[in-house]
Structure 1
Amino acid sequence: MTVSPQDKLPLHRPIRVESITLRPVPVVVTPEQADLAAIATYLGVASVEALKASYTLSRNGERLKLEGMIKAGLHQNCVVTLEPFPVELNVPVKLDFAPEAEIAAMAKPSEDDEIDIEVLLNEEEPPEPIIDGTIDLGVVTLEFLALSLDPYPRKPGVAFSEPAPETPAESPFAALLQLKREP
C-alpha cells in the first residue's frame, strides 16, 4: 500500500458519491479541537482557533456540485514584527466533481484534433476528480483555506520602514592617504 500526499493531511472528511441525492445535502466540516494544532502546522500559521466549513452538495448523474463557505479564526505571524496577530477568514467555495474516467476522456485530444494552446478568460474550471466513488471535503477545506491566506501577512497598523543608511566606515586606504599628506 502506497501512501499518497493526501493521506498525510491533518483533516479528512470522505463522502461517498452515492450518499448524495439530487436534492441539496448540507454537510458541515468541523475538525476536532486536537486537530487544530496539526492544521496550523500544515498551513504554516501560528495557530488555528476555529474552523468550520458549511457545504451544500448536490448530484446530477455521476457529477457532483459543491457550494459553501469556510469560516476560520487563526493567528498569522507578521512579516514586519514577527508577532502573531488574529485573522478572520470567510472563504467562498464552488466546485464541480466528475468521475476520473470522464475527466481523462475530456483531457485527451482525439487524433484528428490539432494541439492548440489558447488561454480563455472567464472560462469555467475543469471538474475535480471523484476518486474511488468518494470526495474528501477535508482536503477541499484545507486547499481553499491555504489559498486564501495572505503570503506576506502584516499586522494592522504596522508599516515597514527602511532602516537609515549606515555611514560608510572610513576606508583603510583613506587613512593611508592622510598619513602620506602629513609632513
Structure 2
Amino acid sequence: MIAPDPAVEWSRPLPVRSVTGEGRTIELDASAEERAALAARFGLVAIDRLAAKLEVQRVDGDLIRVRGTVEADLVQTCVVSLEPFPATVRDEVEGLFGEGVAPADVPEAWVDPEADDLPEPIVDGVIDLGELAAQHLSLGLDPHPRKPDATLDRALIEDVPEGPFAALKGWKCKP
C-alpha cells in the first residue's frame, strides 16, 4: 500500500503496476477534512460533497488512460452580492499518463490546440487520482459565481443602452 501524499489535500495514490489492459472502475469520496482543505485551496466557502468515478486502463503498453467524472456540491460566494450560495459542479476527467515520459519542453506557442494532449509523466510508479480529480474540480468552477437572483443597486455599464458617449449627447459645438 502506498501512503497518501501529505502535501496534497485529496491524495489517492494508484500504483501503476496494478493497472491492466482490462481496466477497472475506482470510486473516490473525499472526507470532511479533505473537503475543507480543498475549499480553502480553491477559495470556496465549503465543499459539502466531493466524489469521483474513474475508469483506469492500460493502453498502448506503458500508457495509462484515466476517464470519468468528478462531482461536487459546494458553497461559493456571489461576486455581486458577496453572499454565499449553493452550487453543483460536474466535470469530465480525462488524463493520459506514461511511464518514462519527461515533461514537455515544447514552447506554448508551438502546441497544437486540436491535437491530443501529451501524456503526463508517472512519478515514482504512482498516479494520484485524488489530485487529478481535484484539478478537474477546479476547472469546473465558475470563476465569477453569481447567485441566480443577485442584482446591483446601480446599473452596470453594459446595462446602459446609450453607450459610452451618452454623456456627450447634450453637448453642442459653437460656430
Please state which band the TM-score falls in when normalised by the shorter chain.
0.7 to 0.9
Query: The residue matched to 1:147 in structure 2 has which SS?
Result: helix
Match of 2:74 in 1: 74
Match of 1:162 in 2: 154
Counterpart AA for 1:158:
A
Residues 1:83 and 1:120: Cα distance change in structure 2 (over 3 Å): same
| Equivalent residue in structure 2 for 1:150, among 112, 124, 142 | 142
Match of 1:177 in 2: none
- 2:72 matches 1:91: no
Q: State which drifts further: 118-127 or 11-20.
A: 118-127
**2:53 and 2:105 mapped to 1: Cα distance?**
35
TM-score by length of 2: 0.77
Query: The residue matched to 1:23 in structure 2 has which SS?
Result: coil
**1:52 and 1:119 mapped to 2: Cα distance?**
32
Query: The residue matched to 1:58 in structure 2 has which SS?
Result: strand
Match of 2:45 in 1: 46
Contiguous gaps of at least 5 residues in structure 1:
1-5, 110-114, 165-183
**2:105 and 2:83 mapped to 1: Cα distance?**
49
Contiguous gaps of at least 5 residues in structure 2:
157-175
**1:38 and 1:108 mapped to 2: Cα distance?**
32
Q: Residue 101 of structure 2 contacts residue 120 of structure 2 at CA under 8 Å; is this kept in 1?
A: no
- Shift of residue 119 of structure 1? 4.7
Which structure: larger Rg? 1
Match of 1:137 in 2: 129
- Shift of residue 118 of structure 1? 3.6
- 2:13 matches 1:14: yes
Match of 2:117 in 1: 125
Q: Structure 1: which 4+ aligned runs deviate by more than 2 Å?
A: 6-9, 101-104, 117-121, 159-164
TM-score by length of 1: 0.74
Residues 1:83 and 1:64: Cα distance change in structure 2 (over 3 Å): same
Residues 1:151 and 1:124: Cα distance change in structure 2 (over 3 Å): same
RMSD: 2.2
- Shift of residue 18 of structure 1? 0.6
- Shift of residue 161 of structure 1? 4.9
Kindly tell me the number of residue pairs found equivalent between the two proteins.
150
Match of 2:166 in 1: none
% identity of equivalent residues: 32
- Shift of residue 59 of structure 1? 0.5
Aligned counterparts, 1:49-60, within 5 A: 49-60=48-59
